[in-house]
Amino acid sequence: SLVLGLFCFFLPKYVKQTYKKNPKYTYNLADNGWKDVVSSGMLIGMVFISAMGTGLGDSLLDPTNAAAEGMYKWDVDSESFSSQTSVTETISTTHSETYDASALFSENLTTVSIFISCDEGPSANQNDEPDEMNYQVSIPGGVDSQGQELQGTVSCQSFGVNLFFESDWSVPNNVWAVDEQGAIDQAVFDLAYKGNWGITLEPIVNGGECPDGGPFPNPLEPDCGPEDEEDDGLTFQYFIDLNGRTALEAEKDNF
């Protein structure tokens, strides 16, 4: 396109200068000077078309396809990898734990998923009010909450709460590099995701109101009031799923 553009740029100037020298000059194909112009134009056009057909045109049209000396094109590939941590406990007091993602997952992290739920636990009885649990999730500095509520209250009769964090990552294909490692190094991962993730859970144990036993309450009926000592805890469960890419490798593209 550059050669063709130059040809189109200089041809009118050539014609104009020729006309100034000889205003009565008529462009006759039999004239040798005019034949030179036509021949040059045809030659340039043939060279341009040939370059496009052989692939040289790709470099002319897209400079990014042109490699510097010693550079090669590589295809970068990777495999998916995941790791899960799960905890289930019955508690009556606050539970707090911090997880170092870099220790749990040595590969390149791309997503983190956290699911938290609870149930009444083994000490519940059918007259209880539903237990609840306050939760708080702390994320590493530099990680975006992506609009999610990192703290709140979940009912032990609900499905639970699910948080999902996805980083900005890229494993590019068809990259230019001197060697395989140079191609692999062009993959991008958010290192902030390999920081500390924290979970704090606070149980809210609700007893309930005893049913009306009438004038002669049954002494064998267990106490189910707000101070019910039998409902002294709840059972929580959470999962932390870490996903990423591993086994990065690059293969030289010989085509």
Residues 16 and 85 in one domain: no
| pLDDT (0 to 100) of residue 36 | 54
CATH number reported for the structural domain that contains residue 89 in this entry: 2.60.120
Residues 31 and 150 in one domain: no
**Where in the sequence is the domain holding 35, given as residue range(s)?**
2-65
Last residue of a domain, one of 65, 83, 104: 65
Residues 179 and 55 in one domain: no
Residues 87 and 121 in one domain: yes
Q: Number of folded domains in the chain?
A: 2
Half-sphere exposure (Cβ direction) of 177: Cα atoms closer than 13 Å: 20
Residues 78 and 50 in one domain: no
Residues 151 and 230 in one domain: yes
d(C-alpha 194, C-alpha 7), whole Å = 57
Last residue of a domain, one of 49, 65, 81: 65
Structure tokens at 78: 């990777």
pLDDT per position as a tens digit, 99-152: 999 998 888 999 999 999 999 876 555 556 789 999 999 999 999 999 999 999
Residues 181 and 86 in one domain: yes
Which element (helix H / strand E) includes 143? none
Residues 139 and 232 in one domain: yes
Last residue of a domain, one of 41, 65, 89: 65
d(C-alpha 250, C-alpha 183), whole Å = 7
Per-residue pLDDT band at 59 (split at 50, 70, 90): very low
Residues 133 and 206 in one domain: yes
d(C-alpha 142, C-alpha 191), whole Å = 9
Residues 100 and 20 in one domain: no
β-pairing verdict for 72-91 and 175-177: antiparallel
Residues 126 and 99 in one domain: yes
Per-residue pLDDT band at 222 (split at 50, 70, 90): low
| pLDDT (0 to 100) of residue 107 | 86
Residues 26 and 79 in one domain: no
